[in-house]
Amino acid sequence: QVQLVESGGRLVTAGDSLRLSCAVSGLFSTHAMAWFRRAPGKAREYVAAIMWSAGNTRYADTVKGRFTISRDRAKNTLYLQMNSLKPEDTAVYYCAAANSAELVYDYWGQGTQVTVSS
């Protein structure tokens, strides 16, 4: 079955960097992948997305210039490099996969906690 497993979340201090990973298995094809996050008491928020084959990327304004989404196709792994972290980046980060051009993210991981202290 399709499985997405995030890793790399931990407690850091403001200004630090952190890289999240998402291992993907069970998908016959992957059209796009994305990172979302959910802070306590808030709705899920889009962070960044990448086209799996071509590598085109898109970012939310709140993270543009600080975060970088990338993928290793050979390893079936998605990454999110987070630099200059801020306390407001504190959230559970989820990776998601879309296997069609509709860009509907049908597959989700269970999330990894990122906490940024001031």
The burial of 9, by beta-carbon neighbours within 10 Å (0-12 exposed, 13-18 middle, 19 or more buried), is given as middle
> Which pLDDT belongs to residue 101?
83
Supply the mean pLDDT for the chain: 96
Residue 103 is predicted with a pLDDT of 83
Model pLDDT, residue 27: 85
Q: Is-contact 107 27, C-beta < 8 A? A: yes
pLDDT of residue 30: 87
Q: Select the more confidently predicted residue: 103 or 37.
A: 37
Report pLDDT digits (tens) over 25-74.
Answer: 998 788 999 999 999 999 999 999 999 999 999 999 999 999 999 999 99
Among the listed residues 95, 110, 104, the one whose alpha carbon sits nearest the alpha carbon of residue 31: 104
